[in-house]
């Protein structure tokens, strides 16, 4: 009998680290995917991340590449400066939905419109996770949050924003796609999309934007398994998965 | 069908149950002992693992290693 190890912790996952994320949080899955991709592309020494404000604010301790911490929502501006001064490096932003679709709306639109040759990984959990579960621009109609305890009312708060669809209207070429980490079948596709987004950058193609539908079991008041069932049953119908633009 | 087994890095496991749900052959469960963080790590409680890596694909804490077992003919 012969045993072959077919899966182990990625090399880019900082050694011995215990993340502060709640059990079953999609941030961990997405970090792991990014680490696997960094390993597979052999870019650990050439990658610079920009960490967001939100639950992922400490991600620089978890993914073992160089990082800068951005002010809330400003990661695209910071990453622009880094990429323009170091065009040889692989630069990415990692941003939550509060960070990207609320406080950083201006920055994300303009980074895409300028076609900066970098990558954005946008983790959408339809809530402000870190601050205790307030409504985000991406919170679904009827979804409860601490600032809409009876559910989001479009009369008061408008409708949940579809960032991929909005950015895809820009004339500037880019790669814009939406994936999920709710189940293994989606995770496999998510990894392919993020890998392509990094490869686009290696090839000097232009801006790549990958939205990842995730969860927040703690603030949604669900178990991790229930939370990902909700991602699949309720988020995906409103935020359809697919490619919205691919450099055309 | 391939044969395999998993190794749980117990200290990293947060007992979230996502791997238990993801395993197509249902060979995982939450154990009844406790790690130093106070979580009950997952365990493979019976044979039948098919080395599909679904559990490791799902794990937010990279707490699972997967082995494929090759039987010599
Ligand atoms: C300028 C500024 N405004 C507000 C905050 C408070 N704040 C911290 S995290 C956060 C929301 C984060 O939500 P999201 O980006 O969705 O990340 P998640 O925690 O859900 O991953 C807010 C409003 C801040 N830190 N700085
Ligand atoms: S609060 Fe929500 S997003 Fe933040 S770590 Fe916990 S589950 Fe994840
Ligand atoms: S590798 Fe597949 S069969 Fe084996 S424990 Fe993991 S999910 Fe179950
Ligand atoms: S998915 Fe990972 S953290 Fe969650 S129970 Fe399984 S091994 Fe533990
Ligand atoms: Mg959020």
CA distance A84 to A106: 19
Whether CATH 3.50.50.60 fits B3-69: no
The tens digit of pLDDT for each residue in A151-202 reads 999 999 999 999 999 999 999 999 999 999 999 999 999 999 999 999 999 9
- What pLDDT score was predicted for residue B71? 82
- What pLDDT score was predicted for residue A1? 80
Mean of the per-residue pLDDT values of chain B: 96
Chain B 40-69, residues with CB within 8 Å of chain A CB atoms: 51, 53-54, 56-62, 64-69
* CATH domain A26-245 topology: Rossmann fold (3.40.50)
Confidence of residue B73 (pLDDT cuts 50, 70, 90): low
Interface predicted TM-score (ipTM) of this complex, two decimals: 0.97
Distance A31 CA to ligand 4 centre (A): 15
Residue A3 C-alpha, separation from nearest chain B C-alpha, in angstroms: 5
Q: Provide the token pair at A13.
A: 């996952």
Domain boundaries, chain A: 26-245
For residue A10, what is the nearest residue in chain B, using CA coordinates?
A: B62
CA distance A102 to A26: 20
- CB–CB contact A23 B53 (8 Å): no
Domain boundaries, chain B: 3-69
What stretches of chain A show up as alpha helix (H) in DSSP? Answer: 26-41, 75-85, 97-98, 105-114, 154-157, 163-167, 184-202, 217-220, 224-230, 236-238
Which phi and psi (to 5°) does residue A73 adopt? 85, -10
For residue A223, what is the nearest residue in chain B, using CA coordinates?
A: B16
CA distance A60 to A65: 8
- What pLDDT score was predicted for residue B45? 98
| B22 in Cβ contact with B54 (< 8 Å) | yes
Average pLDDT on A29-46 reads 98
- CB–CB contact A3 B70 (8 Å): yes
- What pLDDT score was predicted for residue B1? 82
Average pLDDT on A88-93 reads 98
The tens digit of pLDDT for each residue in A207-219 reads 999 999 999 999 9
Ligand 1 lined by A54 (C-beta under 6 Å):
yes
Considering only the beta carbons, identify the residue of B12, B67, B71 that sits closest to A18. B12
Nearest protein CA to atom 13 of ligand 1, as residue: A128
């Amino acid at each position: 009998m012969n045993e072959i190890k077919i899966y182990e912790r990625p090399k880019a996952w900082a050694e011995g680290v215990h993340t502060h994320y709640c059990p079953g949080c999609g941030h961990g899955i997405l970090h792991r995917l990014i680490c696997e991709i960094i390993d597979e592309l052999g870019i650990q020494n050439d990658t610079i991340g920009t960490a967001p404000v939100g639950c992922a604010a400490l991600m620089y301790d978890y993914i073992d590449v160089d990082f800068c911490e951005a002010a809330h929502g400003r990661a695209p501006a910071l990453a622009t400066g880094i990429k323009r001064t170091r065009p040889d490096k692989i630069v990415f932003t990692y941003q939550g939905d509060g960070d990207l679709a609320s406080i950083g709306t201006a920055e994300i639109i303009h980074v895409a419109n300028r076609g900066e040759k970098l990558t954005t990984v946008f983790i959408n959990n339809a809530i402000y996770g870190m601050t205790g579960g307030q409504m985000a621009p991406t919170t679904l109609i009827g979804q409860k949050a601490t600032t809409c305890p009876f559910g989001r009312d479009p009369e008061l708060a408008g409708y949940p924003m579809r960032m991929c669809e909005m950015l895809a209207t820009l004339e500037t070429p880019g790669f814009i796609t939406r994936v999920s980490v709710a189940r293994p079948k989606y995770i496999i596709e998510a990894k392919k999309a993020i890998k392509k987004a990094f490869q686009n950058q290696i090839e000097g193609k232009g801006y790549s934007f990958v939205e990842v539908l995730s969860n927040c079991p703690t603030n949604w008041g669900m178990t991790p398994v229930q939370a990902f069932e909700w991602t699949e049953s309720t988020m995906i119908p409103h935020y359809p998965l697919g490619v919205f633009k691919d450099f055309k | 069908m391939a044969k395999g087994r998993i190794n749980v890095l117990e200290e990293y496991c947060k007992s979230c149950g996502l791997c238990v749900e993801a395993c197509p052959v249902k060979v995982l469960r939450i154990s009844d002992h406790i790690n130093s963080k106070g979580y009950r790590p997952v365990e493979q409680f019976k044979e039948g693992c098919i080395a599909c890596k679904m559990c490791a694909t799902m794990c937010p804490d990279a707490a699972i290693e997967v082995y494929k077992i090759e039987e010599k003919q």
